[in-house]
Structure formats: structure tokens, C-alpha cells
Homo-oligomer: A and B are copies of this chain.
Amino acid sequence: MSNSVSTAISRVDPEQVLVRGYNLADLIGRYSFGDVVYLLLAGDLPSRSEGKMIEAILVACAEHSIDAPSIHVARTVASCGVPTQQAISAGIGAIGDYHGGAGEACAKLLQEAVHERRETPPTEVATDIIAGYRRSGRRLPGFGHRFHTPVDPRARKLLQLSDRWHISAPHVALARAIEDTLRTDTGRALPLNVDGALAAIMSDMGLDWRLGKSLFIIARSAGLSAHVHEELLVGKPLKFAGRSEIEYIGPPERSLPEAQ
């Protein structure tokens, strides 16, 4: 009962590691991590703008709050006497359809609509999508945020960069048409949140919607690492499960250094 399996991702020789055909050692120091994430997920090196865009997305999703379920789970597990990787692993397991998963759902929605209705004006497509969700009683994934209202500052920044770097195309356009239609229809703003921005932009960079959660996971593994480290260093065993208040004891708000 043994099988041969095949992969188009990498090949390892004693003297080199090939990633999508490129020598990994040549990528180190010359290409950004965002470039290599794109290479791994899309199969080819990105344009310079796309690589920077991936980096921007990773930064935007790297950390949010100790109140996010993935972080909460990772810290609780870390407080039970386990090694680092197990706490991070449990936290990533919490990145489900209701937490960090809206990006995947929103990207699916945008990619299917753009694919199937290429010739239809975005506003018309947007109206149909909203009507469909309204009928089904489900929430439109990627729009609105329970905490960041009226606007999710991370989404706004990502969309600015996507425009500036000429990445925004039909998927971002459709996402904005949905945003506009929602505002007109309901009289209140329900703007793209960080998941929705990620979804629209990754779609315009040609990434399969099934990678929506993956981008979020790669990014959030950084925040998870910081929290697990903090918990292992200064947390008290078993004291995390019932936590209710969160106190921030880090540096006060500060400005970024001038030059960089």
C-alpha cells in the first residue's frame, strides 16, 4: 500500500533546494519573503508591485489583539505546559470560517462573479450579489467589522496601496461596487474590512480564492509567536482560560522614526 506522489513545488538535491525551479539559495537576501510567498502559492515570481503588496498584506494581518480567538486559544494552550509549536498549532486551528476565514469566502464570491459575469457592469453584479445574500439570510463576507467602525483602518490602507501600485482591477472594482451599493441601499456604511480587502487584492493578483485563509495564517503566525512567547515567559500556568479584562502594558502610542 505505498504510492508515488508528485509535487510541482520543490525538489531537493544535496547541493541545492529548487523552489518552483529556482535555486532557493539565490532567492535568499535578493527577494523578499512576500516575493517567495507569492512564488510558492502562485508558482511564479510576482512583479515588484505584487511582491510589495503581499508584504503589505502580511503586515496588515500579522497581529490584531489578544481578544482574537486564535490568540486567545494559543495563550490558553501555552499556559497548560506545552512547547511553543503546540500552542501556535492550536491557535492556527482556530482560524476557521468565522475568524480569519472571511477572506476565503469573499475571494470565492468575487472570483466566481468576475469569472462568470465578465461583461456585466460591476454595479449590476453587486446588486445581484447583495440581493442573493439578503434572500439567504447570510452575512456578506468581508464587509463591516464589529469593532472597527465606521472603517477598518487596515483595509483602507491596503486599498490605497493597491491603487497606487496599479494592482486594483476587476475584483477590487467589484468589491467597491458592493460597498457603494450597500451604502446606498441601507443608508449606512459597511465598508470592506481587512479580510475583504485581502480577498479583493489577492484576486486581482491572480491568487486562487482557496488561498485566502493561508495568507491570513502565514501573517498571523507572527502575532501568535509573539503572544505564545509572552505567555511562556510571564504568564501564570492555567490562569488564562477565564480571563476577562485585557490590560495593555506595552509602550505608549509613539511615532515611527522619520527616515527609513
List which A78-129 residues lie within 8 A (CB) of chain B.
79-86, 88-90, 92-101, 104
- For chain A, the count of residues having a C-beta within 8 Å of the partner chain is 134
A79 to chain B, nearest CB (A): 7
Tell me whether chain A's interface is mostly helix, strand or loop, or mixed.
Answer: mixed
A66 to B12 alpha-carbon distance, docked (Å): 9
Pick the interface stretch among A130-138, A168-176, A180-188, A232-240.
Answer: A232-240
Pair B59/A33 contact, Cβ less than 8 Å: yes
**Chain B minimum-CB-distance residue to A19:** B63
Contacts of A241 in B (CB 8 A): 67-69, 72-73
Task: Count the copies.
Answer: 4
How many Å from the CB of A26 to the closest CB on chain B?
A: 6
Complex Cα–Cα for A33 and B232 (A): 24
19 contacts between A and B (CB under 8 A): A8-B250, A10-B250, A18-B253, A24-B153, A28-B59, A28-B158, A33-B33, A69-B79, A73-B241, A80-B99, A81-B98, A84-B210, A85-B93, A85-B101, A89-B92, A90-B90, A93-B93, A214-B228, A242-B244
Nearest first, the 4 closest Cβ-Cβ pairs linking A and B are: A81-B97, A21-B251, A8-B250, A81-B98
Q: Which residues of A contact B (CB under 8 A)?
A: 1-12, 14-34, 36-37, 40-41, 43, 45, 48, 52, 55-56, 58-60, 62-70, 72-73, 75-77, 79-86, 88-90, 92-101, 104, 147-149, 153-154, 156-158, 160-161, 208, 210-211, 213-215, 217-219, 221-223, 225-230, 232-233, 235, 237-254, 256-257, 260
